[in-house]
Chain A
Amino acid sequence: QITLKESGPTLVKPTQTLTLTCTFSGFSLSTTGVGVDWIRQPPRKAPEWLALIYWDDDKRYSPSLKSRLTITKDTSKNQVVLTMTNMDPVDTATYYCARRLKGLFDYWGQGALVTVSA
């Protein structure tokens, strides 16, 4: 059974750095072709893709947010970490991690709501 779960702060202040952890089970991020992505969804808006890390440590970022994002993995712990710097109220959203296989998000976490407010 494949599961993913996001964890991290529910509230961050403007200008702070957000660190989110995705802990997964049921698959390995050392398997060829597998990736884990971060996707966010502001309230009542569409999902927005943020970042991707592949089994071979190849990383990709949304061009519009690239300067603020860092994605890393710890294969032994089955974790992927996303950091986003200089948080702003417009970054308030539910943040999801998802497994990527052949470009598709076939398994998602339940999501973590992050509110940015002073």
Chain B
Amino acid sequence: EIQMTQSPSTLSASVGDRVTITCRASQSIGSWLAWYQQKPGKAPNLLLYKVSSLATGVPSRFSGSGSGTEFTLTITSLQPDDFATYYCQQYNTYSTFGGGTKVEI
């Protein structure tokens, strides 16, 4: 079973900051990596897929990079609506989520 490890688990930031979240897979997943944003009481929402492709309606301040086992999500110029929890997901083999990164003020 593929394990996904995210870091950091919590990130304190301010509006306008550049934020980077890291996700590591326990084995190579190629480019089958997605990122989701979740706000309290809501289901996760797809942000990026295949490492760096933006889902419909997602602002361009979100970007992704990486391949194999190391991946990053970057948010340039953090906006108030971006304070949330972010999860990576591998979909190379069924699905596994990372432990999450809470971006807080």
| A residues apposed to B, CB below 8 Å | 37, 39, 45-49, 52, 60, 62-64, 96, 98, 102-106, 108-111
Number of A-B contacts (CB under 8 A): 46
Select from chain B the residue with minimum beta-carbon distance to A61. B94
Q: A47 to B46, Cβ gap below 8 A?
A: no
Provide the main secondary structure of the chain B interface.
loop
Subset of 6 A-B contacts with CB under 8 Å: A49-B96, A98-B43, A103-B32, A106-B46, A108-B44, A108-B45
Q: A64 to B1, Cβ gap below 8 A?
A: yes
Q: Does B98 have its Cβ within 8 Å of any Cβ on chain A? A: yes
| B residues apposed to A, CB below 8 Å | 1, 32, 34, 36, 43-46, 49, 55, 87, 89, 91, 94-100
CB distance from B35 to the nearest CB of A (A): 11
Q: A104 to B91, Cβ gap below 8 A?
A: yes
